[in-house]
Amino acid sequence: MDKAIEEVLMSPSDQEQPCEATAALLESREILPTIEPIETPPVDLRASELYINRELSHLQFNVRVLEQALDEKQPLLERLMFLLIFSSNLDEFFEIRVADQMRQLKYGREAVGPDAMHPQKVLEKIREICDVNVTRQYKILNDIMLPALEAQGIHFRRRGAWTDAQRAWVEEYFNEKVVPVISPIGLDPSHPFPRLVNKSLNFIVQLEGKDAFGRETGLAIVPAPRSLPRLIRLPDELCEDGDNLIFLSSIIHEFAERLFPGMKVTGCYQFRITRNADLSFDFEEIEDLARTLRGELHSRKFGDAVRLEVDNRTPEELIGFLQEEFKLPAAHVYRVDGPVNLTRLMAVRDLVERNDLRWKPFTPGLPNKLKVEGDLFSVLRRGDQLLLHPFQSFTPVIDLLREAAKDPEVVAIKQTLYRTGVKSDIVNALVEAARNGKEVTVVIELRARFDEESNLQLASRLQEAGCLVVYGVVGYKTHAKMMLIVRREGGKLVRYCHLGTGNYHSGTARLYTDYSYMTADEQVGEDVHKIFQQLTGMGKIQKLQKLYNAPFTLHPKMIELIQNEIRNAKAGKPASIVIKVNGLTEPKLIRTLYEASQAGVQVDLIIRGMCRLRPELPGISDNIRVRSIIGRFLEHTRVYWFENAGKPVVICSSADWMERNMLNRVETGFELFGKHAERIRRDLDYYLKDNCQSWQLHSDGSYTLVQPGEGEERFSAQQALLDELANS
């Protein structure tokens, strides 16, 4: 992902009726009948029946993304993007989650979670769910999306529909752009089956005849050049109307015989292999993390095969041949009715300029106090600032760092970076600060999944500029989002901080919902300083005054706050909890939430993705409601709200309620007070009120879309925040 979803809703009219094809799919939709309902749950809160399997819950999130493609209240091209994001998410799911289950079986190291589901059973369920929903995805593409795009003048031209002039242009493209870089591989003893790159587009070709050396092999593999786009726009002068696009696969199909002179192509079929892309280390053997990571990155492209996608017209004998080569059982083969690499269709965004089929653009808002030129330090001395991205601008965070880089009174800057671009504004400012003589320390998490190569390049650039670069703590990913600026003021040193729930990346700040907190609070600054000392040096745990940090105090604090609500409920005091995170999987937190529900505490959980907790179980979790918001923006904020007998405790954090975040990562949680705490509660209320982009989780592990009641107006939390905070 983490690269994954981007964006939600702009509703034209509540009176619109879905087209017939959409209506049929809506009526037949099955939202993951993964687990049978429980009639009489046991009292033991550790019992496996009380927990949903993590992998299946993760997969359900992807299905909820797919459902957005059927929402006709959203712009057409955005619906297409959701359809393609489903593919992108599913790729990562197989590369990481399915690969892990297969690895456990391969090496006899089966591990079960609190749900006690064996990896083999998990894989069987994954196959069952993916089989249904991948078929649905291609049906949505072929029966709904492509006809709808065609009606809007966006044409995907098949080979049989090319005019003579278009075919001549395509032939020239093939000769000039494809032939020089393509490498067909005939299969024989001296040309064994090639080692194909993860997620690459390939063709298996059936041949008749003998080649120049008298060989008659019958089969060849043609890897599509990765340097070429998978979607190509035909020149407008060759087309009558609209936007006309063709697939690279269509070009290779049409002229495949040109790659084998004198031979006859009797069949040409697309396929794609997905491989294990997880990186694993023996930390006891690592002497230099950066060097080890560079060595591992290349192997990611050639990990064990975990999935084979093939054109559904491919003959069974060829599918069997590919299975044998990749050592994959039939359960890991997916026959698809269309292009095997749908993710690459996202290029349509750059090839087609149709703003009328996209969400209405907006300008992030900016509080009046931050509309200043070059004096953010004085603003923060007068009071803390809280921003909610993307509804409010990320620019003040960048401006604070830029100002620090130029200010002669600033003596030091410290920053954590998890995902950011090598040439981002944040990095440019850090480079400038180092060149201006500031003491710049950057903690880079090299192992941010799928951003490792970018982070290695980032580390090199910062080091060349004179920054001190460290890679955190071996065995613990540094996921905390912190910036610390030390400035001389009136003969003493003053600290300014930024803490966030998201990454220091201006691109994702336009797509992900995240909070940014900027402060000159002395105790917060001291706490952030101590955490940086832990990351760059060595020593015992240091006591913090206002922050909580994982893997030390954050998890115990959450347990303590839940237990406090339990005591309040039993004493007849107000008691409720609202938690908004990306994932809830940590067993002890779940058990404590069950105990809270049993004590009468009302618990509202807004969990975007994985959730192991089962709500609505009589006597166990009947006071717990779980919902997932899927929309225009990727919900990414982590917020913990506790009633505390009328004196709410409100904490924002970089940490989800998962084992990895609470126990195996460096994370921070920062408490908010006064108007900022009230602002957080208002935002949470919007999400709890949402009745058009909210999915409710049930005890059997299924989700249903929340719909407005009779006479009730549609309410989208994201749209309400856009209307309130952003500029049109």
Is domain 20-152 given the CATH code 1.20.58.310 in the classification?
A: yes
Same CATH fold assignment for domains 20-152 and 550-725: no
Q: Which residue has the higher pLDDT, 215 or 310?
A: 310
Question: Both tokens of residue 346?
Answer: 């996202």
Q: What is the pLDDT of residues 92-140, one digit of tens each?
A: 999 999 999 999 998 888 888 999 999 999 999 999 999 999 999 999 9
Q: What is the mean pLDDT of the chain?
A: 89
Which of these, 406, 474, 471, 460, lies nearest to 438 by C-alpha position?
406
Phi, psi of 688 (to 5 degrees): -75, -25
The answer to whether the peptide bond before residue 551 is cis (omega within 30 degrees of 0) is yes
Task: Specify the pLDDT at position 413.
Answer: 97
What are the two backbone dihedrals, phi and then psi, of residue 242, each rounded to the nearest 5 degrees? 65, -160
Q: Give the H or E element holding residue 243.
A: strand 243-247
Roughly what angle, to the nearest 10 degrees, separates helices 76-92 and 54-67? 160
Task: State how far the alpha carbon of 130 is from the alpha carbons of 102, 124, 389, in Å.
Answer: 16, 10, 33
Task: Please determine, for residue 16, whether its predicted confidence score (pLDDT) is greater than 80.
Answer: no
Is a pLDDT exceeding 50 seen at residue 518?
Answer: yes
Burial string for 213-250 (b: 16+ CB within 10 Å, else e) reads: eebeeebbbbbbbeebebbbbbeeebbeeebbbbbbbb
Residue with tokens 């298996």: 204
Residue pLDDT, tens place only, 655-673: 999 999 999 999 999 999 9
- 314: its two tokens: 């491919």
pLDDT band at 10 (very low <50, low <70, confident <90, very high): very low
What is the pLDDT, as a whole number, of residue 447? 64
Model confidence band, residue 14 (pLDDT cutoffs 50, 70, 90): very low
The per-type count for the chain, helices as H runs and strands as E runs, is 21, 27
Question: DSSP 3-state assignment of 193?
Answer: coil
User: What average pLDDT does the segment 331-351 reach?
Assistant: 93
Can you give the pTM of this predicted structure?
0.89
Helix, strand, coil % over all residues of the chain, rounded to 5: 40, 20, 40
What confidence score (pLDDT) does residue 542 get?
A: 87
Summarize pLDDT for 471-502 with one digit per residue, the tens.
Answer: 878 788 899 999 999 999 998 999 999 999 99
Confidence of residue 39 (pLDDT cuts 50, 70, 90): low
Q: What is the pLDDT of residue 78?
A: 97
Q: What is the pLDDT of residue 232?
A: 96
| pLDDT tier, 454 (very low <50, low <70, confident <90, very high otherwise) | confident
Residues 6 or more apart from 517 whose CB is under 8 A from it? 384, 385, 386, 387, 498, 499, 500, 652, 670, 672, 676
Active-site residue among 58, 155, 479, 505? 479
Give 368-381 pLDDT, tens digit per residue: 888 877 789 999 99
What was the pLDDT predicted at 678? 97
Distances (CA, A) of 663 to 155, 208, 527, 605: 51, 60, 20, 21
pLDDT of 547 strictly over 70: yes
Domain ranges of the chain: 20-152, 156-284+304-351, 368-540, 550-725
- Phi/psi of residue 405, nearest 5 degrees: -65, -30
Q: Decide if 479 is catalytic.
A: yes
Q: What are phi and psi of 269, to 5 degrees?
A: -135, 135
- C-alpha–C-alpha distance, residues 373 and 478, integer Å: 33
- What is the architecture of the domain spanning 368-540? 2-Layer Sandwich (3.30)
Q: Which two tokens stand for residue 379?
A: 């603003």
The pLDDT tens digits for 166-208 are 999 999 999 999 999 999 998 876 678 898 999 999 999 999 8
Nearest Cα residue to 518 out of 666, 406, 379: 379
Given a cut of 50, whether residue 540 has pLDDT beyond it is yes
Among the listed residues 556, 505, 497, the one whose alpha carbon sits nearest the alpha carbon of residue 531 = 497
- What would the mean pLDDT of 253-273 be, rounded to a whole number? 93
Choice among 195-204, 293-302, 435-444 with the minimum mean pLDDT: 293-302
Give me the mean pLDDT over the 144-155 stretch: 96
pLDDT tens per residue across span 672-722: 999 999 999 999 999 999 999 999 999 999 999 999 988 899 999 999 999
pLDDT band (50, 70, 90) for residue 9: very low
CB-CB neighbours of 381 under 10 Å? 12
Strands (E), 542-584: 547-550, 576-581
* Listed residue (606, 613, 664) closest to 638, CA to CA: 606
How far apart are alpha carbons 142 and 430 in whole angstroms?
A: 48
The answer to whether 585 and 657 are in contact (CB under 8 A) is yes
Q: What is the pLDDT of residue 18?
A: 55
Tokens of 161: 């529909």
Query: Is 156-284+304-351 assigned to CATH 3.30.70.2740?
Result: no
Q: pLDDT digits over 550-574, tens only?
A: 999 999 999 999 999 999 999 999 9
- Residue 595's alpha-carbon distances to 427, 582, 603, 626, 700, in angstroms, are 46, 22, 11, 16, 20
Instruction: For domain 550-725, give its CATH number from 3.40.50.1980, 1.10.10.10, 1.20.1070.10, 3.30.870.10.
Output: 3.30.870.10
Q: Does residue 289 register a pLDDT over 80?
A: no
pLDDT at 601 over 50: yes
Single out the residue of 363, 717, 380 nearest to residue 517, CA to CA.
Answer: 380
| List of residues 6+ apart from 675 with CB closer than 8 A | none
User: Which pLDDT value is given to residue 715?
Assistant: 96
How distant, in Å, are the alpha carbons of 346, 436, 437, 462, 471 from that of 459? 30, 19, 18, 5, 9
pLDDT in tens, 641-658: 999 999 999 999 999 999
Q: What percent of the chain has pLDDT over 90?
A: 75
